[in-house]
Amino acid sequence: MTKAFKIVKNLSNKERKGVMEDARKQLVKLNAQRAVGSAIENPGKIRALRKTIARILMLEATPVAKTEADKGGQK
């Protein structure tokens, strides 16, 4: 397991939703900057945001993660 995955996995459902909303807003903003043609400070951030969103969606689809998240994200 990667460090980023462990961090996301230990969040509660409410916190995950907040992280997801922030990541999506940032991704839309960066994609708009890229589409316009302006220089992006950190192009790698787009990939990192997409991976974070995918991790959260994968955890939401996993039945084990749902039961752990109901307990507050702790084992």
**pLDDT tens-digit map of 42-56:** 989 999 999 999 999
Higher pLDDT, 29 or 69: 29
Average pLDDT, the chain: 86
Average pLDDT over residues 17-30: 94
Average pLDDT over residues 4-32: 91
What is the CATH number that goes with domain 3-69? Answer: 1.10.287.310
Domain ranges of the chain: 3-69
Instruction: DSSP for the chain, please give it.
Output: --HHHHHHHTS-HHHHHHHHHHHHHHHHHHHHHHHHTPPPS-THHHHHHHHHHHHHHHHHH-HHHHHHHHTTS--
